Amino acid sequence: MMNHGEVRMTDSPTSIHYFDMSAGAQLTMANSEMVYTIGGLLQVTGGSTTVTDSTLGALGLNVPAGAHLDVAGLQSGVYLNSWDVHDMIPDADYDLVLERTTILKDDFTGELRNGPYERGWIFFLDPDAHVRLSDSELRKVFLDLRNETADFQDLRVGVPASLAYRDIVLTNIVVNGEWPFTITDSDLTITNSDYLFLQPSGSSQVRLVNSHMVEFIPRNFFGTMIFENGLWTTAGEIIGGVPHHSMANDFVIEGSLRMEGLRENLQWKDAQVTREFDVVVTDVHGVPMGGVVIRVNGQDYVTDNTGKTKFNIVFDETNYNQPTALEAWHSGNLIARQWIDFFTETPIRPSPEAKVFLPVVFKKY
């Protein structure tokens, strides 16, 4: 509901995954459910919302710039007899009233496991908000970076974590779903963390070290994603040209990265990604092989004395899942061939057979 419109929901057991209320919109919900197998999120960032005698899968609250949030002991699975958002966020610039309303328990051990699903409490924190959240169980806490350099570490789901960013302090918080970041023209490094949800834009540079990304939605992104022992699973969108969403995407992925479960789930349209592939060639004894020619798409790349080289492929929606042949040649002999695409793990390690490249010595008698 963006900037205008009115919705009335009465006596309605709905299967809604995500309902977003923005400034100027109105929602009246009575004797109804907003619950879905993977969610049921009422996200309120503006407007006027009244919910009575109803059940929500999850409640997402915006904490705007200059607003204060000071909460301890927040848990999912609660019944709110009479609750006003201004009781929790006094400076909220929107209206939200819940009467005789249940927010479902975040049972992350079942169908709604860790990851991009919606249950319980979700917060969207403006970087200029004043926040103290402690000793609480949340599904997600969105952090917003704009024109900044920041480092975070040890953000994991299901275990207590703490962080301090600007005037946002989280202490002993258990996040069950994801650690989400929106990143605009910023330099962000995240280390030793899991279940990250990243939404980069602009010319941002994002570095993930020993970390796991579970959801990825670039929006108007022209920067670089750098992975060091990275893992990307579950979900992602690389989509361009959609108003109020992605607008455009043309970015670079570098480093060591493994992808799992994305071949079936990744959505791609009207965007492109330049993926830099590192290659490491060793012999059967693990000794680096220099001078090996790596041939891809008619181009040759030669390994150095450490057995390493690299090359780029530009992917779009037409070729990201189409196989491309990679050949390794040594001393004029083809020693390895394999098929690669956008999902190929890096670094690529061609596997020559010993009999192909080990030197043969002929003795003259």
pLDDT digits (tens, 9 = 90+) for 156-214: 999 999 999 999 999 999 999 999 999 999 999 999 999 999 999 999 999 999 999 99
Q: How far apart are CA 141 and CA 131, in angstroms?
A: 11
Pick the closest to residue 230 from 253, 210, 204 (CA basis): 210
Instruction: Kindly tell me the burial class for residue 210, based on how many C-beta atoms sit within 10 Å of its own C-beta (0-12, 13-18, 19 or more).
Output: middle
Per-residue pLDDT at 355 exceeds 60: no
Mean pLDDT of 124-141: 97
pLDDT at 357 over 60: no
What pLDDT does 353 receive?
A: 60
Query: Would the pLDDT of 93 be above 90?
Result: yes
> Between the CA atoms of 232, 236, 238 and 243, what dihedral angle is there, to the nearest 10 degrees?
-150
The DSSP 8-state label assigned to residue 210 in this structure reads: S
Q: What angle do CA 283, 311, 287 make, to 5 degrees?
A: 15
Long-range contacts of 205-214 (CB under 8 A, 24+ apart): 214/114, 214/115, 214/116, 214/178
DSSP 3-state assignment of 63? strand
How confident is the model at residue 358, as a pLDDT? 37
Evaluate whether 177 touches 165 at the Cβ level (below 8 Å). Answer: no
**Residues linked to residue 125 through DSSP beta bridges, in sequence order:** 63, 143
Q: How far apart are CA 248 and CA 239, in angstroms?
A: 7
Q: State the CB neighbour count (10 A cutoff) for residue 110.
A: 6
Task: Give mean pLDDT, residues 103-122.
Answer: 82
pLDDT interval class at 245 (50, 70, 90): confident
pLDDT given for residue 362 in this prediction: 34
Residue 365 has pLDDT above 80, yes or no: no
295-347 residue pLDDT tens:
999 999 999 999 999 999 999 999 999 999 999 999 999 999 999 999 999 99
Q: Kind of pairing, strands 160-165 and 168-184?
A: antiparallel
Average pLDDT for 105-120: 79
pLDDT beyond 90 at 37: no
Residue bearing the bigger pLDDT, 356 or 123: 123
Using the 8-state DSSP alphabet, how is residue 292 labeled? P
Predicted pLDDT at 246: 85
pLDDT at 112: 65
Look up residue 105 and give its amino acid.
K
State yes or no: pLDDT of 351 exceeds 90: no
Q: Which amino acid is at 47?
A: G
How much is the pLDDT for 13? 92
0.85 surpassed by pTM: yes
pLDDT level of residue 108 (50, 70, 90 thresholds): low
Place of tokens 């394999």: 338
Nearest Cα residue to 313 out of 304, 302, 303, 326: 326
In tens, the pLDDT along 53-86 reads 999 999 999 999 999 999 999 999 999 999 999 9
Phi/psi-derived region of residue 251, left when phi > 0, alpha when psi is between -120 and 50, beta in every other case: beta
CA distance 195 to 209: 13
Q: Which stretch of DSSP H or E encloses residue 85?
A: helix 85-88
Report whether 126 contacts 68 (CB < 8 A).
no
In Å, what is the CA distance from 224 to each residue of 38, 74, 183, 253?
A: 31, 36, 12, 6
Q: For position 115, what pLDDT does the model report? A: 83
DSSP 110-132: TTS-SSS---EEEEEE-TT-EEE
Say yes or no to pLDDT of 364 above 90.
no
Q: Which of these, 181, 170, 175, 161, lies nearest to 120 by C-alpha position?
A: 175
The predicted model gives 115-120 an average pLDDT of: 89
Cα torsion for 329, 333, 337, 340, to the nearest 10°? 20
Among the listed residues 340, 337, 350, 300, the one whose alpha carbon sits nearest the alpha carbon of residue 320: 340
In degrees, rounded to 5, the angle at the alpha carbon of residue 165 between the alpha carbons of residues 160 and 167 is 110
